[in-house]
Chains A and B, each alone.
Chain A
Amino acid sequence: MSKDTHTPDPRADEAPLMSHEYDGIREYDNPLPGWWSGIFVLTVIFAGVYWYWYHAGGPGKSIHEKHAAKMQTYLAEKAEYERTHKFEVNDAVLADLAADVATLDAGGKLFMQHCVGCHLADGSGQTGPNLTDEYQIHGSSRLDLYTTIRDGVPAKGMISWGATMKERDMAALAVYVAAMRGKNLPGKVAEGGKVGAF
């Protein structure tokens, strides 16, 4: 079997062997495969064109120009969407939502995802204040809660969720947090003014 392998392949045989030999290794004098040279030349041409296009007087725009244009479109579209999909939040809307089980459910999920890091899962507070006592630092209404969630309290580390969260979701969160008030779980000491439960 192994003897067979010494028989040169008939196709390979067509190419002459180079005269040199190193530790038994010989080399064929096969030409470069045409597709190999062809693709290599194409990549070189591509490189030249690309360089001209973006860096040597060609019409290509820089990544920063492209980004500025995309950012402008993005902001315009977002503003347009917000104008046409206005979700009016006021105390009446929030009071209605507070009675909606599905909204409270969604609010709970969001709370578990985004808020437990500072307020703990039961809302009793850690970095952030205790949400279950009958005190509130910023205002007293559900709308005040909503505003705090949206704008945050950057000085004290409360994130402004308005940058990333939808109005509907922030509303759901606000009513979920409002429903915690008055549970009076032991946790972080009460802060803010006394407001009572809802």
Chain B
Amino acid sequence: MQPSPTFRYDDAIVRKFVVATLVWGLVGMIVGLWLALQLAAPSLNFAPYFTFGRLRPLHTNAVIFAFAGNALFAAIYYSSQRLLRTRMWSDKLSQFHFWGWQAIIVAAALTLPMGFTQGKEYAELEWPIDLAIAVVWVAFAINYFGTLAVRREKHMYVAIWFYIATIVTVAVLHIFNNLVIPVAPLKSYSIYAGVQDAFMQWWYGHNAVAFFLTTPFLGMMYYFLPKAAERPVFSYRLSILHFWTLVFIYIWAGPHHLHYTALPAWASTLGMIFSVMLWMPSWGGMINGLLTLRGAWNKVAEDPVLKFFVVAITFYGMSTFEGPLMSVKSVNALSHYTDWTIAHVHAGALGWVGFMTFGMIYWLVPRLFQAPLHSKQLASVHFWLATIGIIFYVVAMWASGITQGLMWRAFDEGGRLQYPDFLQTVTRLVPMYWVRALGGTMYIAGVVIAIYNFYKTWQARPATYEEPEINVPPLAHAEVRHGSGKEYWHRKWEGLPRLFTIMTVVAVVTASLFEIIPTFVIGSNQPTISTVKPYTPLELYGRDIYVREGCYNCHSQMVRPFVDEVVRYGEYSKPGEFIYDHPFQWGSKRNGPDLAREGDPRRPGGTRSHLWHVHHFRNPRSTSPGSIMPSYPHFFEDDLPYGDLQGKVDAMVTLGVPYGEAERRDARGVARAQAEQISAEIVAQGGPAGLENKDVIALIAYMQRLGRDISEAATAAPPAPATPAPNQEQK
């Protein structure tokens, strides 16, 4: 069949993705603002569905996969068709991609507040939704590579390289981090445990930032910035070099999220040194962006599109310097688990991703709706509100993060913690949380103004959109244009999408395997501890509640080998403690204290009573005045699903967790006995009766188990001289 020489671009699909970007962007950011307010005013938590722990995944998933996702799809569909001089390969797949992705977002918005989660950051969505993501992504990939196959432009422009890297790498990351074994229609356990699960999660988590929030947005920049500036790109050679170094180096950097944890030190070091080496590859993109504007700076002052792009690229440069800085172990020791990380990601998300997206949409809207932008002035108002909003946000979180980091490690002259009560380090931050909320409000106000502006522009659209016929001969018939300029070896690859894709996959996969294989193969990475035993069925279910409520969003379970942490929490965490943790729950942020030693009798101050936990879960402020933790009244109302426990134990057995005969045969009975014992102890402590049938018992059982096994190892061994034994005998 002879392909027709003429065709039309599919802009209807781009219009759809743009509208979805704006709608989900607004939703995701409003949820973010709500979270910000919850940290300042905990009464804004509405259990069970709208607590911080359940809403935070909704916020992160919405802004990453719904807002940024739809934006990058809009960019890819609009620019690829023009750069490759063809319509998308299959309109049906384009439609399937769009509607499939929106359905996934709706599924996420429903399941996350309901507590269905895998308990791994940005990979919270449960397995049926993960399968749907894989299907839609593969459909997108087929459509994209089909489009490459029917392209009418021999060579691929740099934007296309970045899109290819995005499409293949996201698929690999998504699949390998989400390998789980289902135990219910919306509940699963990660096949990895502890250290290995943590490694896979942050290999994924960091590269989601790389290949979902960076590479496609660099592709976006390479198309829309020179178009808007009407200037050639600064350096073709820099494009080549920074593309390949970025793709190869980024993939190693994940373990910098796990410094000083139980992850083996070599992996942590690789994460750090590759992050440091990533600095210049990232800045290559910034340079190519900013220097493309040489000779167009006068336009920047008046064109809202360029204004947004300039600020976006500036934030990109700032974040990609801050990232390597924070990956340096000694800096990370201060910044990790604090709001400094929150400042960093929001400089990236609001500044880089957000401003690139809005710049692109301001450029696209008049072209897609074929009417001049309703108001340049409103665009300018949006720009300034958003810029000042980000500054309030980021500065408040820097201040808050550094304040808290320093308070955690402060000792008085006698060697006691200056702020022994974790809560003291939280209440100090509340004023900064209000400033952050103000910054976020300004940013959202800007988005609302933009949406109004786009809506008015849309109203002025023509009755039917003009869809000009494009006349470009198919490749087989096209003469490859040979210019007079210089050519480099890389030019050949640019004409061979299959080779180019294979080389990208090779770069990404080789780099990954260098870290993954040793993590899984070297046994000494995870020395076993004989006293570490599987969770009892009741504790296992308590852990499920911990995951369901998203406790990991505010509590770490990882004591780092620092004097202050050992004094505050107890012995630092060992890799062997986590071998039955499917999934791992180390956390990444301490809005509340670390819980790794919560049940360890040697915990400084001793363990808390069951009754304390009863009061604390019912209303944290009754035991800890000023606490910002949500209340969990439903723990006392929901019946403990004893019938489900056998299935959970069986799933763990399948994963290789060595349960004994009793648990394998009668998980329910074993759980029942433990629940009745705890319940009786609560009554003996003066608490309410009848809790053995309620969820709260399982969670208390889990809390009291945390960190206890390793303490039994210590008591079995000769007494350790490091900490003086409490003189209990004298009582």
Q: State which of B95-103, B416-424, B655-663 sits at the interface with chain A.
A: B416-424
A30 at the binding interface (Cβ < 8 Å): yes
Q: State which of B170-178, B234-242, B363-371 sits at the interface with chain A.
A: B234-242
Select one of A11, A78, A117, A164 contacting B605, CB under 8 A.
A164
B83 at the binding interface (Cβ < 8 Å): yes
Query: When chains A and B are docked, how far (Å) is the Cα of A31 from the Cα of B609?
Result: 68
Closest Cβ of chain B: how far from A64's Cβ, in Å? 6
Select one of A8, A23, A32, A151 contacting B241, CB under 8 A.
A32
A63 lies within 8 A of B413 (CB):
no
A22 lies within 8 A of B83 (CB):
yes
B185 at the binding interface (Cβ < 8 Å): no
B233 lies within 8 A of A47 (CB):
no
Cβ-Cβ contact count across A and B, 8 Å cutoff:
231
Select one of B155, B227, B608 contacting A20, CB under 8 A.
B155
A101 at the binding interface (Cβ < 8 Å): no
B236 lies within 8 A of A163 (CB):
no
Residues in B neighbouring A19, C-beta threshold 8 A: 481-487
Scan A1-37; emit 1 where CB is below 8 A from any B CB, else 0: 1101111110110011111101111111111110011
A151 lies within 8 A of B415 (CB):
no
Residues in B neighbouring A28, C-beta threshold 8 A: 232-236
Residues in A neighbouring B3, C-beta threshold 8 A: none
Q: A47-B273, A159-B606 are in contact. Are A29 and B615 (CB under 8 A)?
A: no
B280 lies within 8 A of A36 (CB):
yes
Q: State which of A67-75, A92-100, A174-182 sits at the interface with chain B.
A: A67-75
A25 lies within 8 A of B274 (CB):
no
Q: With CB as the reference atom, state the residue of chain B lying closest to A162.
A: B726
Residues in A neighbouring B522, C-beta threshold 8 A: none
Closest Cβ of chain B: how far from A12's Cβ, in Å? 5
Residues in A neighbouring B276, C-beta threshold 8 A: 43, 46-47
A194 at the binding interface (Cβ < 8 Å): no
User: Within residues 90 to 140 of chain A, which ones have a CB less than 8 A from any CB in chain B?
Assistant: 112-114, 116-118, 126-127, 138
Q: State which of B27-35, B44-52, B142-150, B559-567 sits at the interface with chain A.
A: B559-567
B727 at the binding interface (Cβ < 8 Å): yes
User: Within residues 603 to 637 of chain B, which ones have a CB less than 8 A from any CB in chain A?
Assistant: 604-612, 615-616, 622-625
Closest Cβ of chain B: how far from A54's Cβ, in Å? 6
Closest Cβ of chain B: how far from A17's Cβ, in Å? 6
Q: A5-B298, A9-B295, A81-B415 are in contact. Are A156 and B609 (CB under 8 A)?
A: yes
Most buried by B among A16, A63, A64, A151: A63
Closest Cβ of chain A: how far from B531's Cβ, in Å? 20
B230 lies within 8 A of A6 (CB):
yes
Q: With CB as the reference atom, state the residue of chain B lying closest to A56.
A: B266
A12 lies within 8 A of B83 (CB):
no
B693 at the binding interface (Cβ < 8 Å): no
B726 lies within 8 A of A30 (CB):
no
Closest Cβ of chain B: how far from A75's Cβ, in Å? 7
B604 lies within 8 A of A164 (CB):
yes
B523 at the binding interface (Cβ < 8 Å): no
Q: State which of B281-289, B339-347, B461-469, B545-553 sits at the interface with chain A.
A: B281-289
B731 at the binding interface (Cβ < 8 Å): yes
Residues in B neighbouring A147, C-beta threshold 8 A: 730
Q: List 15 A-B contacts (CB under 8 A).
A: A17-B485, A18-B485, A27-B158, A40-B279, A43-B276, A50-B269, A63-B265, A67-B572, A71-B722, A74-B567, A152-B726, A157-B610, A159-B605, A160-B606, A160-B726
Task: Name A's B-contacting residues (CB within 8 A).
Answer: 1-2, 4-9, 11-12, 15-20, 22-33, 36-37, 39-40, 43-44, 46-47, 50-51, 54-55, 62-64, 67, 70-71, 74-75, 77-78, 81-82, 85, 112-114, 116-118, 126-127, 138, 147, 151-154, 156-166, 188
Given A12-B295, A39-B280, 14 other A-B residues pairs in contact with their CB atoms under 8 A: A5-B231, A9-B295, A18-B485, A30-B234, A40-B277, A47-B276, A85-B414, A127-B623, A152-B605, A160-B605, A164-B417, A165-B420, A166-B414, A188-B686
